Amino acid sequence: MTDKPRNQKPTAVFEVLDDSGVGLSDGDALLDGRERRLVEGAANFYALAGPGQTFRLTVLRGPAGTMPALTDEDRTTIEWEDDREVVGSLVVRSLVHTTSDHSPADGLVDIAVDVGGAPQSVTAYHQLTGVLGKARKAVRFLAPVQFDALRQFRTDMVERKGRDIPRKAPVRLTRGAEATPHGDQPAILFGLHWLELGGAERWAVDTIRLAKEAGFTPIVVTDRDSAQEWITRPELDGALVVPLTLPLDPKQESAFLNGLLSMYDVRGIHLHHCTWLYDKLPWIKSIRPDIPVVDSLHVLEWRTGGFVDISVRLSNMIDRHHVISPQLRDYLVGKHGLPAEKVVFATLAGLTTGGIAVGGSDEAESNPFTVSFVGRFTQQKRPYLFLQLAAELKKSSPREVRFIVHGHGELAAEVNSLRARLGDAVELRGADRPVSDTFRDSDVLVISSDNEGLTLTSFEATAAGVPVVSADVGSQSSLIADDLLCPRHPYSFVQAAAARIRTMMTSPDQRKTWLDEQAAKAEAFAKLPRAEDWTRDLYQGWLK
Amino acid sequence: MSTVAAVVVTYNRKDKLTKVLDHVLAQTRRPEWVVIVDNASTDGTDEVLKEYEQIDGVVVVRLKDNTGGAGGFATGMNKSYELGADFIWIMDDDCYANSDALEELLNGHAKAEEAMGMQLPYACSLVKWVDGNICEMNNPGTTWDWGKLIAKGQENVLVTHCSFVSVLFPRWALTKFGLPLTEYFIWFDDQEYTLRITKAGPGVQVLRSVVVHDLGQNRGVNFGDVNASNLWKFEYGARNESSFRLHHENPVSWLKFLARLVQGLRHGNVPWSIRAKLFRKVVEGIAFNPKPKMPRSVL
């Protein structure tokens, strides 16, 4: 019989004693919803890390583009930079009781919490400093395609060498010595990278929803500096959210986790790309070996392996690795010898295809031929390469052609400037237009990414009846017709993609053959186990 | 349960091919897929394949050009990998497998892994000629401790390399080491590949798994046998082995190969014009160093 909890409202970890400007209790607020949730997240952290203590949070707001600073060890200072305005003051008392108290329970602890400024995304290249960094930045933005060609050669060289990943030795205990009893509210601890738009995040918030549906309280920890624009999403209502900003005071790390484990009955841990939580797994397994740990892996990063290699390193602490693509399954089992029964391949097919009607334009309906890009304007997605392809097609197309670039992101300025060179042939679309409109208007979708797991856009395009020309990266070969997979190197990508699209323009039959192959692959892929079903069953198992 | 894809590479041998396929399809452990790679045959093989294609699990890959045994096996293994097979069992189009050959290969491989306490990258069959004797061309090379598993009561021998006549690869071997070198076209592709994957551990010859290799004559590879009509094959052999010994082993190994070649040609009284052509290929091998392609994970 399952032990389903009666309510999902998280046990409060603090009470508000006074509030000025924040708006956590009634009254006028100077903060917007996102900022308020950030402050609440900071208060969650301090309440959990400081059982029984009283905290006064002075809330600062920085200029646009600055990141929140909520929990790092510098927060205890009572001085701040000139450009920070004070927008709130909040006194809270921790309702957490544990035996772990690294500081006295009485007295008032002052914390200066910075919610940052209005979100403004910039690339890592924009943030380069020093002479070499500035030179690199200049080359990157002056000659993006040429710079990309060099990056790809570097990738080839590093990947050829391969990587040996040392393994963290296992925890041999089956029971940790008990210091504190735990709460009785069943919860799942989620570790996320950040709360921003992304494929991994989309799946992460879905699992948070599934946890709530199963009756768990989701505890959501993030570890990456971010404006956390998704912190106001409805999936997070009822969750205990803690957006960490690092580095934490080392003493607070165990205190925070002890606070969590004592306030809630944590039945499982689900990681979605969270380095901080990965690094804490050996300790968590030492004190609570009974808590099962799973992680979801999406993309194998070039040159470093990214979270996948971190997961391999910590595999002895992880009970199940969930992967969304056959490439990752083969990487974990075949390349790194993880036991096959520990690796679960369950797909995200259909995660975002609801509401997309089969459309896809064809020759009769669409003249000119429409070539589209749908995705974030980030280095990984290489929108500049799509625009290079657009320039090539504009020059050599056998019929009239137009382009749609649908998205937004940190490379928006570059996209705008490159688009200006192509004139009216390129239409820019933003978040105000639904993606389904773009699929309806498209004859072909191009995925120019430097790297991918398995793009959700490919599923969407297939649902809409649009053939996809894609860089042959990640597991794209699971969904894309063989002939439409193009090399990752920028020049050969443009050459191959342009040739395939020109063929589509002149041969509707060939376009249909490729689309049929894509649909057949999607159909075969759709028969594989789905991540949502697997996760739902997993969480049900954690209720018992 | 693990899945198996059998791979048969064929080129203009339709009469033997049907017998080969019938033996594969009649296995006591029937493979989930039978992938047939037609290396652009011109003898009507395609008509035969069209019939087999109706059978559930049979997948035909038609190549536009003859890519040699190396290209055919690389294509078939890649296709099997894309289909999601856990094991890939490959053979030529003149190899008749005993009805339990695959079952014994899988069992032998599993038992050998258990006894060795490690993953083993391949398992090959005992290859007989049509008269029941050992097929000289398909004798695997053994490890120094080849009898280790025999001492444990198994009928399995530890090996360092084998030919592509009934050999079973677990999927992970392809993930880790890639595909055979298509560029070799023919000859030494099997040795190169099995030597390459032996870096992960020895292979195992499962003596209970028996196949018959229907060759014209039962004779191993010997440079003394080269003549004008079979020179093209020996040329590939000379170039490929020269490349392998130099780039994947060391200069001493390359020199030893050269000495063996010289000695073989001398013993066979091979005409100097042919010797010169072979030495040209040996030199070509110095600059010839293809890199393996990795299979794609599709399902």
The C-alpha of B15 sits at a distance from chain A's nearest C-alpha, in angstroms, of: 32
Q: Domain for residue B83, yes or no?
A: yes
Q: Domain for residue B218, yes or no?
A: no
The C-alpha of B119 sits at a distance from chain A's nearest C-alpha, in angstroms, of: 9
Which tens digits make up the pLDDT trace of B66-115?
999 999 999 999 999 999 999 999 999 999 999 999 999 999 999 999 99
- Give the distance, in angstroms, between the CA of residue A486 and the centroid of all CA atoms in the same chain: 26
Interface residue A167 vs chain B (CB under 8 A)? no
Residue A77 CA to residue B62 CA, distance in Å, equals 72
- Closest-CA residue of B relative to A473 is B296
- Both B25 and B163 in one domain: the answer is yes
DSSP state letters, A255-322: HHHHHHHHHSEEEEEEEES-HHHHHHHHHHHHH-TTS-EEEEE---BTTTBHHHHHHHHTGGG-SEEE
Closest CA to A68 of A84, A88, A92: A84
- Both B48 and B138 in one domain: the answer is yes
- Both B132 and B177 in one domain: the answer is yes
Query: What does the CA dihedral A527, A530, A533, A536 come to, rounded to 10 degrees?
Result: 170
Residue A464 CA to residue A359 CA, distance in Å, equals 5
Q: Where does a domain end: B165, B183, B213?
A: B213
Q: Is residue B140 within 8 Å of residue B161, measured between CB atoms?
A: yes
Interface contact flag, A326 B172, Cβ < 8 Å: no
Give the tokens for residue A27: 């009254």
Strands B203-213 vs B95-97: parallel, antiparallel or unpaired: antiparallel
The C-alpha of A420 sits at a distance from chain B's nearest C-alpha, in angstroms, of: 38
> What ipTM goes with this model?
0.89
Q: Domain for residue B67, yes or no?
A: yes
- Angle of the B272-287 helix axis to the B251-267 helix axis, nearest 10: 170
DSSP 3-state of A159: helix
Closest CA to A542 of A292, A317, A208: A292
Q: Is residue A342 within 8 Å of residue A320, measured between CB atoms?
A: yes
Residue A271 CA to residue A269 CA, distance in Å, equals 6
- Both B244 and B271 in one domain: the answer is yes
Interface residue B118 vs chain A (CB under 8 A)? no
Residue A32 CA to residue B294 CA, distance in Å, equals 51
| CB < 8 Å to A525, chain B | 299
Does B19 score more than 60 pLDDT?
yes
Residue ranges of alpha helices (H) inside A370-507 are 383-396, 412-422, 435-441, 456-464, 490-506
Interface residue B171 vs chain A (CB under 8 A)? yes
Interface contact flag, A330 B298, Cβ < 8 Å: no
DSSP state letters, A228-255: -GGGG-GGGTTSEEEE--SPPPHHHHHH
Residue B104 CA to residue A40 CA, distance in Å, equals 64
DSSP state letters, A104-149: -SSSEEEEEEE--SS-----TTTT--HHHHHHHHHHHHHSHHHHHH
Q: Is residue A61 within 8 Å of residue A117, measured between CB atoms?
A: yes
Q: Is A132 exposed, middle or buried (0-12, 13-18, 19+ CB in 10 A)?
A: exposed
- Mean residue pLDDT across chain B: 96
Give the tokens for residue A431: 């978040």
Determine the residue among A330, A479, A518, A523 to mutate to test chain B binding: the one whose Cβ has the most chain B Cβ atoms within 10 Å. A330
- Both B130 and B272 in one domain: the answer is no
- Both B67 and B168 in one domain: the answer is yes
Which residues touch A22 (CB under 8 Å, ≥6 apart)? Answer: A29, A30, A31, A36, A39, A57, A59, A88, A89, A90
- Put simply, the chain A residues between 477 and 536 with a CB less than 8 A from any chain B CB are 477-478, 521, 524-525, 528
Q: Where does a domain end: B173, B194, B213?
A: B213
Give me the domain span that covers residue B248: 223-287
Q: Domain for residue B297, yes or no?
A: no
Interface residue B199 vs chain A (CB under 8 A)? no
Residue A461 CA to residue A470 CA, distance in Å, equals 12
Strands B33-38 vs A343-345: parallel, antiparallel or unpaired: unpaired
The helix (H) or strand (E) run that includes residue B6 is strand B4-10
Which tens digits make up the pLDDT trace of B118-158?
999 999 999 999 999 999 999 999 999 999 999 999 999 99
Closest CA to A510 of A446, A443, A458: A443
Q: Where does a domain end: B149, B184, B213?
A: B213
Interface contact flag, B298 A333, Cβ < 8 Å: no
- Both B191 and B258 in one domain: the answer is no
DSSP 3-state of B136: helix
Q: What is the pTM of this model?
A: 0.90
Closest CA to B291 of A487, A159, A472: A159
DSSP 3-state of A153: helix
Residue B290 CA to residue B243 CA, distance in Å, equals 9
Would you identify the CATH topology of the domain A369-526?
Answer: Rossmann fold (3.40.50)
DSSP 3-state of B278: helix
Q: Domain for residue B118, yes or no?
A: yes
DSSP 3-state of A7: coil
The C-alpha of A528 sits at a distance from chain B's nearest C-alpha, in angstroms, of: 8
Which tens digits make up the pLDDT trace of A486-500?
999 999 999 999 999
Q: Domain for residue B292, yes or no?
A: no
Closest CA to A446 of A386, A506, A504: A386
| CB < 8 Å to B176, chain A | 334-335
Q: Tokens 């009509």 label which residue?
A: B229
Strands A265-272 vs A293-297: parallel, antiparallel or unpaired: parallel
| CB < 8 Å to B119, chain A | 337
B95 forms beta bridges with B213
Interface residue B79 vs chain A (CB under 8 A)? no
Q: How far apart, in Å, are the Cα atoms of A338 and each of A158, A316, B172?
A: 23, 10, 11
Residue B178 CA to residue B184 CA, distance in Å, equals 15
Interface residue A331 vs chain B (CB under 8 A)? yes
- Both B204 and B231 in one domain: the answer is no
Give the tokens for residue A314: 């910590």
Residue B181 CA to residue A407 CA, distance in Å, equals 42
Strands A485-486 vs A468-471: parallel, antiparallel or unpaired: parallel
Interface contact flag, B298 A528, Cβ < 8 Å: no
| CB < 8 Å to B175, chain A | 330-331, 333-335
Interface residue A302 vs chain B (CB under 8 A)? no
For chain A, what are the domain ranges?
369-526
Interface contact flag, B297 A524, Cβ < 8 Å: no
Average pLDDT of the residues in B175-185: 97
- Both B44 and B115 in one domain: the answer is yes
Q: Which of A331, A337, A525 is opposite residue B119, by nearest beta carbon?
A: A337
**pLDDT value of residue B222:** 86
Q: Domain for residue B152, yes or no?
A: yes
Q: Is residue A195 within 8 Å of residue A229, measured between CB atoms?
A: yes
DSSP state letters, B41-81: --SSHHHHHHHHTTSTTEEEEE-SS--HHHHHHHHHHHHHH
pLDDT less than 50: residues of chain A: 1-7, 363-364
Query: How many CB pairs below 8 A link A and B?
Result: 37
| CB < 8 Å to A331, chain B | 175
Q: How far apart, in Å, are the Cα atoms of A412 and each of A201, A385, A407, A541, B214?
A: 21, 14, 9, 45, 66
- Both B134 and B46 in one domain: the answer is yes
Q: Is A89 exposed, middle or buried (0-12, 13-18, 19+ CB in 10 A)?
A: middle
- Both B162 and B28 in one domain: the answer is yes
SS3 content of chain B, % helix, strand, coil (to 5): 45, 20, 35
Residue A244 CA to residue A12 CA, distance in Å, equals 19
Domain containing B189 — which CATH number?
3.90.550.10
The total of structural domains in chain B comes to 2
**pLDDT value of residue A103:** 52
Q: Domain for residue B134, yes or no?
A: yes
Q: Is residue A528 within 8 Å of residue A324, measured between CB atoms?
A: no
Q: Is residue A71 within 8 Å of residue A244, measured between CB atoms?
A: yes
CA angle centred on A358, ends A392 and A422, rounded to 5° = 20
DSSP classification of residue A483: G
Interface residue A333 vs chain B (CB under 8 A)? yes
Residue B157 CA to residue B136 CA, distance in Å, equals 17
- Both B166 and B250 in one domain: the answer is no
**pLDDT value of residue A7:** 44
- Give the distance, in angstroms, between the CA of residue B101 and the centroid of all CA atoms in the same chain: 16
